[in-house]
Copies of this chain bind each other. A is one copy, B any other.
Amino acid sequence: MGVGPGDPDLLTLAAVGAIEAADLIACPVARSGAESMAAAIAARWMRPHQRIIPLLFPMVDAAEPRRLAWHQAADTLAAEVATGQRVVLLCEGDASLFATGSYVLLALQQRHPDCPCRVIPGITAVSAAAAAANWPLALQQDQLLMRPCPEREDQLSQALDHAAGQARVLALLKLGRRWLWVRQVLERRQLLESSLFAERVGWPDQTLRPAQDVPGGVRPYFSLLLIRQSWPEVLP
């Protein structure tokens, strides 16, 4: 289930209901002992009688450690469900969009096809950033492309060229250390002023600023950028 990007008020009623009804709450963590961001967002509704378990999903490039982590998570959750426990797996943002939960769901479907599963959607960081900044994501015939930030400058230039021709707003996720050169590309194209930089959306220390106000440098992994290159012909 998705808990949204940060602000606990952005949980849905369905998400709150599932947390309150749970016997076991599973929280993804990237390192052993690390605090789970999803658990911090959901903390308001977690109760002392509920068991909380961290599920370790290492952030590595190699395939096998990741596969193993998805298998182990699926086996752990299915075993609990089989004993009659009501189990939720928390997930930042939306549970279907760039979410570890999607991999766990695929592993459950393969390894435990009889385990009943229900996915509860969540507010994305993209929607939350747009709302917080009064930023229309897509109007009328616009398009919205959500994607990880390209790895190289030529890929970004190509994506911007193509987006401009299609009235396509770009949402570039996982900006992180790429911000240094991404900023330069936007500056050359005079897009800095009309792009929105967002970081830790919904958390007390969120950053939501026109990209021109954010100096070049390494930013957190989960920072994102919204880029609109044009507006529709018919506006108020």
* Binary contact readout A6-30 vs B (1 if CB under 8 angstroms, 0 otherwise): 0111111110110000000000000
Residues of B within 8 A of A9 (CB): 12-14, 17
C-alpha gap A7/B174 in the complex (Å):
31
Residues of B within 8 A of A11 (CB): 12-13
Residues of B within 8 A of A95 (CB): 131
A interface majority secondary structure? mixed
Query: Which of B4, B134, B140 makes the CB contact (< 8 A) with A119?
Result: B134
Number of copies of this chain in the oligomer?
2
Size band of the interface chain A makes with B: 35 or more
* Binary contact readout A60-94 vs B (1 if CB under 8 angstroms, 0 otherwise): 00010011001100100000000000000000001
19 contacts between A and B (CB under 8 A): A2-B131, A67-B234, A70-B236, A94-B127, A96-B135, A96-B136, A97-B138, A98-B138, A102-B136, A102-B137, A103-B139, A106-B136, A121-B123, A121-B128, A123-B123, A143-B147, A143-B148, A145-B145, A147-B168
